């Protein structure tokens, strides 16, 4: 009786935070209490299904729905998926759209840009902004997107097809499982290299994945690590040989998550992540104002300008 009561409380928490329908909660409760077997995780390797935009105005994000309980969310802002306000907004909307589909339990997050998962935040959004309101809008869109990704009821598998510095690394560590193509690719929070400081919620999300010592070293040095080192530190969970293996393996892993009763799985996820998410929610305004003040400092603007100029020479 005590166990059933605790499960009911957990399911109620999941329902309130993940907006789960009551029938789904009751179904999961029956499975947990009765000990009924979970659905099979088998899924034949598939290529991605016919695509459809996540909204009528979506230019950079495409959602596909292979058979089963899995969706694929693909970023496509060429050449490198720089995270500007529009891409961040579209990514959040795609996550909301998929999450609102009761048939979907897991999502694969990936990129259509060859050799690039995401190059991180679009620094042109921060360099010589037209107004402080522009910076506020940009940073708020980043916060909104991250909170949606980090706390979604969906199990998210990051299929990392190439480089993932800075914000690209943030998307990765905010997912539930990370698979990366092996090769001459790098991943990490390298903000320190171009004069920025990773926000506290970037740092906390990273620490949960790699631990405090590796986190501290990576943040201070702005380290970008190789695929092999990423696997050693736990920054990624698996390496695969090529893009085809990446797609197939990501779908397989997503299917294994989708086979677990959704309410119990997502409630378990929340137990691990609620503290980090709540930390940002209670300090959003402070975080935004701090970012704006920091970004507008003359030395930071000078550093951004120099870094952007160096990119043009490559």
Residue 132 annotated as catalytic: no
In whole angstroms, what is the distance from residue 191 CA to residue 218 CA? 10
CA angle (227, 229, 235) in 5-degree steps: 80
Catalytic residue among 74, 99, 105, 191: 191
Catalytic residue, candidates 120, 167, 168, 222: 167
- Residue partners of 216: CB distance under 8 A and separation at least 6: none
What's the rounded Cα separation, in Å, for the pair 70 and 50? 13
Q: Please report, in angstroms and rounded to a whole number, the separation of the first and last CA atoms in the chain.
A: 65
How would you classify residue 224: left for phi > 0, otherwise alpha for psi between -120 and 50, otherwise beta?
Answer: beta
> Active-site residue among 121, 170, 280, 304?
121
Residue 5: partners with Cβ closer than 8 Å, 6 or more residues away: none
**Does 121 qualify as catalytic in the annotation?**
yes
Tell the residue number behind the tokens 């329902």, with chain if given: 15
Q: Are strands 186-188 and 164-165 parallel, antiparallel or unpaired?
A: parallel
DSSP-derived 3-state class of residue 172: helix
Q: Give the number of residues written for the chain.
A: 314
Q: Are 77 and 60 in contact (CB under 8 A)?
A: yes
Buried b (16+ CB within 10 A) or exposed e, 214-247: bbeebbeebbbbebebbbebebbbbbbeeeebbb
Q: Are 287 and 280 in contact (CB under 8 A)?
A: yes
Which of 81, 84, 161, 190 does the annotation list as catalytic?
A: 190
Task: Return the active site residues.
Answer: 121, 167, 190-191
């Amino acid at each position: 009786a005590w166990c059933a009561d605790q499960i009911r409380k957990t399911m109620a928490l999941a329902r309130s935070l993940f907006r789960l329908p009551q029938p789904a909660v009751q179904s999961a409760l029956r499975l947990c209490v009765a000990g009924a077997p979970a659905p099979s995780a088998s899924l034949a390797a598939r290529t991605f299904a016919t695509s459809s935009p996540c909204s009528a105005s979506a230019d950079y994000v495409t959602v596909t729905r292979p058979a089963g309980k899995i969706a694929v969310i693909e970023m496509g802002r060429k050449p490198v998926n720089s995270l500007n306000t529009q891409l961040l907004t579209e990514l959040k909307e795609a996550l909301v759209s998929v999450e609102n589909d009761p048939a979907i339990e897991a999502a694969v997050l990936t990129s259509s840009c060859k050799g690039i998962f995401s190059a991180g935040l679009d620094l042109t959004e921060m360099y010589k902004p037209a107004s402080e309101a522009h910076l506020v809008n940009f940073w708020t869109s980043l916060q909104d997107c991250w909170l949606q990704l980090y706390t979604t009821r969906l199990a998210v598998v990051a299929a990392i097809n190439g480089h993932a510095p800075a914000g690209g690394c943030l998307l990765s560590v905010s997912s539930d499982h990370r698979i990366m193509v092996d090769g001459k690719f790098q991943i990490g929070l390298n903000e320190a290299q171009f004069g920025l400081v990773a926000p506290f919620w970037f740092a906390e999300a990273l620490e949960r994945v790699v631990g405090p010592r590796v986190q501290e070293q990576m943040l201070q040095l702005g380290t970008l690590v190789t695929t092999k080192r990423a696997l050693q530190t736990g920054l990624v969970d698996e390496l695969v040989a090529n893009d085809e293996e990446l797609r197939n393996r990501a779908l397989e892993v997503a299917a294994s998550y989708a086979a677990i009763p959704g309410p119990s799985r997502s409630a378990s996820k929340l137990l691990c992540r609620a503290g980090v998410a709540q930390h940002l929610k209670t300090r959003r305004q402070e975080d935004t104002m701090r970012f704006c003040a920091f970004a507008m400092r003359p030395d930071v603007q000078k550093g951004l300008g120099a870094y952007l100029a160096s990119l043009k020479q490559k």
